[in-house]
Structure 1
Amino acid sequence: MKKIRLGLLGSDDSIDVIQSVIKEYPEFECTPIIYWREEEIPDLLSPIANDFDIWLFSGKVPYAIAKSWGGITKPMFFTPHTGPSLYKTLLQIFYHNQIAMEQISFDNFHYDELNSILDEAEIKANHLYLKYYEGEEVDAKVLAGYHYELWKSGKTKAAVTCLRSAHIELEKMGVPVYRVLPAKSAIESVLNLALRTYEMLHFKESQIAVQMIEIDSYFGLAKDTFSTDEIYKIEIKMAEKLLVYANKVQGSLKSAGPGRYVIFTTRGLLQDITNEFSIIPNLEDLEELKKEVITCGIGIGKTAYEAEIHAGRALFHAREYGKGSWMVALDNQTIAGPLGREEQITYSYVSKELQKISEQTSLSISTLSKLESILKKIGKSEIGAHELAQYMQIMPRSARRILKELEEQGIAQVIGEETPYSRGRPRNIYKITL
């Protein structure tokens, strides 16, 4: 069985603990990467970001920095500093130095989270010194300074930190400091989650993907040479080009009638060349093909039949966006596209609520799903006809008709007006409740 390549990035002491647990998981082939300063994390990741199947970080700080950097496309996990992690540290403090909770400064934990952990252990504290920070915003020297000032003023006798770089700084300052390391139970939980995620993704990559392509049989045909023979020759040439493309995606090509072709391949391959279903494949030797393809629908399914049904649905939606449009229908009953365009949206094509509204109006579920997706994308429930028309790529009068019909059913209401130009009638702004 092929091993799962696991990239493990963290501080030296955390990596030792995590690796001791990973040894019990023969499914993983682990490569440790140690960092000493948080600011060097992007540079460490840059050359190897996608060399692994899964990434594991030794805490939420390196994880948040890596996520904010954005160069990793593989699944990412981190080991949390849970209750058992802190209990072990507190036990050491109480056993060796018998320091009261009110004389310890903490970091990383949220106030409610720390209180919950202590309540669970029935540890009482009148007040807590706590420095909370968002992962990517951490500064080791600032954090160390917080603990140092409390210790120097006599308010605390020890510091508890989750950050290795702050731990090193505090040791230099002479502050009694204890480090919170990931607990074995937390590491095991994350590794099991990573395994399940990998298995799910591996299954998804092997799902059937079908591309249903419509071409322009008249493309390149001279006006004065119109004949069925010429059209036949053009379709033969097109089939040859599509066969080259099918080989690129390791798929098989079949004709589905005049001007329509179907390519069977796997989700993983198609997902790669479309950059997670966001762009039209950029293949140099197939540039001419893009001009001739009218529309393309991509369908994903557990079986070839299911994928082909989804491809047909995606093709139907692609037609609404005009020539050269590509759409994808995923197995979670959502449509996404048009691929490669800024206004790309994702919307569900099955919804009981939308089905009910569709029955009340003359609007299709497809139209209502697009509207719902647009509202989610812009992050508000208010929209005007011109803005809706731009997103849906329809005429403003068609957008006004949609909004007017929703208003008649009490689903939309006019809440204001806008006047974008010095002349002309004001435009209504609608609040929509789907």
Structure 2
Amino acid sequence: MKLRLGVLGADDSLEIIRSVVQEFGEIECLPIVYWSEEEIFDLLEPHIGEADMWLFSGQVPYAMVKEWGRIHAPMAYVPHIGASLYRTLLYLSHEAGMRVNELSFDTFSPEELARFLEEAGIVHTHLWLKHYDGAIHFRELADYHERLWRDGRTKGAVTCLRTAQLELRRRGVPVYRVLPTRTGVHSVISMLLRTREMLQFKDTQITVQMMEIDSFQGLASGAFSTDELHNLEIKTTEKLLRYAKQLQGSLKTAGPGRYVIFTTRGMLRDVTANYTSVPNLEELFGIRGELVTCGIGVGKTAYEAEIHAGTALLHAKERGPGTWMVYFDDKRIVGPLGRQEQITYSAASGQLQEISRQTSLSVQTLSKLHSILKKRGTSEISAHELAMYLQIMPRSARRILMELEAKGFAQVIGEESPHPRGRPRKVYRIHL
């Protein structure tokens, strides 16, 4: 089945992107061109559900749509740094004879632009740069570039935004557009295809739904016999079997009033509207929703998924009958499903969350470090060893350890020399 890729961009960028998409036989392209940012939402509205993924020609339309929040499919945009900027500067140097310090730039962060020029061997003393996070109005960019040009500080503007380019042309300002390269577009599309493969794999993950149904509440008021209770259990089981069949899963009982359904992540995602709502069990299967308390667990194995489902059920019971909670394989707990107050929080220990607040390290990184130390059976580790376990660069591992040391959660206890002429490696003792 082909990947339906929605592509929204300015006319010149869209032409480049479409030509690259044609090289991928497994992709069906849905192109949408825009001439002003104000029309983006109206253009997208009729096509929200038509694409499996979305690709935007730049940062501004991507940021606007992300903040809009109507599209839930994976999204990406084509960056303008790297070869795209090289091409523009080469043209300006060769054809217009302009130097970097005679130009004004926008979009790029100061760090990435400085790093780009350093790698290109371009020496500069000062750069005119309008950096912004997310979206920006094209007139704000045009005003910035025009003011510098009219004051005689620059000889031209370099912009990543098509609408800003058209506005600057209208004002008579020399302007040069940074367009995406075919190589850059190819790289992003390849990344989207890998993302699709990952999502397809995740859809097949084992997912367990653990449910508690209060059979006593299902009985009529007054006296009742054990036979009536048993008959009610049988009827409930029959109804849940139909529900499990819809999920293409299997049902097993786990004690009086408790049932477990084994299915896949994709199936439960569909019936819960991407884990945001509770299916109407009463309308579909005759099971009163307020009697069902449910925990959903996602895991790398059936055992892990079942453990997570049990934990999710405990969280659901804390919030009362009829509550549904989800425990994902990345330790996120989400819920209650179907309620406005739905929240997402981490199942990591409170101690790691506190350390994360005091440092620049995420709970996920700290959890990995904690697991590594537990597996090694020691609290001591070097940056080289940490890098091997985390599959990261040694300098990144050193930054993690130095951050912990700076905040008092690690200390250097010695050094080791792996090679006679090698640089000694610091050994840290971690206190998590």
TM-score class, shorter-chain normalisation, is 0.7 to 0.9
Equivalent in the alignment of 2:101? 102
Q: Which residue does 1:80 correspond to in 2?
A: 79
The equivalent position to 2:298 in structure 1, one of 297, 300, 304, is: 300
Change in 2 beyond 3 A, CA 1:170/1:223: closer
**Equivalent pairs, count:** 357
Match of 2:318 in 1: 320
Which residue number corresponds to residue 212 of structure 1? Answer: 210
Q: In the aligned structure 1, how far is the partner of 2:91 from the partner of 2:38?
A: 31
- Quick check: 2:81–2:108 contact (8 Å CA) kept in 1? no
Q: CA deviation at 1:180?
A: 0.1
**Alignment-derived partner of residue 401 in structure 1:** none
Helix, strand or coil at the partner of 1:87: helix
Match for 1:326: what amino acid? W
Counterpart in the other structure of 1:263: 261
Partner of 2:116: 117
Q: CA deviation at 1:342?
A: 4.9
Q: Distance in 2 between matches of 1:347 and 1:139?
A: 35
The aligned counterpart of 2:163 is 165
Whichever residue aligns with residue 104 of structure 1, its letter is: L
1:41 Cα shift?
A: 1.0
**Pair 81,217 (structure 1): closer, same or farther in 2 beyond 3 Å:** same
Please give the alpha-carbon distance, in whole angstroms, between the structure 2 residues aligned to 1:139 and 1:322. Answer: 47
The 5-angstrom pairing of residues 139-150 of structure 1 reads: 139-150=137-148
- Inter-CA distance 224–140: structure 2 relative to 1 (3 Å threshold): closer
Kindly tell me: are residues 92 and 308 of structure 1, through their superposed partners in 2, closer, same or farther at Cα, counting changes over 3 Å? same
Runs (5+) with no aligned partner, structure 1: 358-368, 370-433
Identity %: 58
1:192 partnered with 2:190: yes
Aligned partner of residue 309 in structure 1, secondary structure? helix
Bigger mean CA deviation after superposition, 193-202 or 56-65: 193-202
Task: Output the CA distance in 2 between the equivalents of 1:16 and 1:149.
Answer: 31
Q: Distance in 1 between matches of 2:274 and 2:256?
A: 30
Aligned 8 A contact 2:104 2:127 in 1:
yes
Would you say the 8 A contact 1:160–1:179 is kept in 2?
yes
Q: Report the Cα distance in structure 1 between the residues aligned to 2:48 and 2:219, rounded to whole angstroms.
A: 48
Alpha-carbon distance in structure 2 between the residues aligned to 1:134 and 1:332? 28
Question: Match of 2:181, as an amino acid?
Answer: A
Contact 2:296–2:312 (CA<8 Å) still a contact in 1? Answer: yes
What's the offset of the Cα at 1:145?
Answer: 2.8
Which secondary structure does the structure 2 equivalent of 1:297 belong to? strand
Q: In 2, distance between residues paired with 1:238 and 1:289?
A: 7
TM-score by length of 1: 0.74
Residue 330 of structure 1 corresponds to which residue in structure 2?
328
Q: Which amino acid aligns with 2:180?
A: P
Instruction: Call closer, same or farther: CA 1:91–1:152 in 2, change over 3 Å.
Output: same
**What residue in structure 2 maps to residue 51 of structure 1?**
50
SS of aligned partner of 1:218: helix
Deviations 1:347-370 (A, max 9, x none): 554659579x9xxxxxxxxxxx9x
Once structures 1 and 2 are overlaid, which stretch shifts more, 86-95 or 46-55?
A: 46-55
Judge which range, 116-125 or 328-337, deviates more. 328-337
Asked if the contact 1:314–1:327 (Cα under 8 Å) also holds between the matched residues in 2, the reply is yes
| 1:118 CA displacement | 1.6
Q: Which residue of 2 aligns with 1:277?
A: 275
Superimposed CA distance per residue, residues 318-360 of structure 1 (whole angstroms, 9 cap, x where no aligned partner): 33333222222222344333333455444554659579x9xxx
Q: TM-score, normalised by structure 2?
A: 0.74
Contact 1:6 1:54 in 2 (8 A): yes
User: Contact (CA 8 Å) 1:82, 1:183: kept in 2 or not?
Assistant: no
Q: 1:234 to 1:184 in 2, by over 3 A?
A: same
User: How many Å separate the matches in 2 of 1:92 and 1:70?
Assistant: 38
Aligned position for 1:365: none
Shift of 1:112: 3.0
RMSD: 2.9
Amino acid aligned to 2:227: D
Query: How far apart in 1 are the matches of 2:343 and 2:207?
Result: 20
* Local SS of the residue matching 1:44: helix
Aligned residues of 2:58 and 2:78 also touching (Cα < 8 A): yes
**Matched AA of 2:108:** F
Shift of 1:287: 8.6
Q: Match for 2:139: what amino acid?
A: K
SS in 1 for 2:218: coil
Hey, what's the Cα distance between the residues in 1 that align with 2:181 and 2:79? 9
Residue deviations 1:43-74 (CA, integer Å, cap 9, x gap): 11122123211111111111001111111101
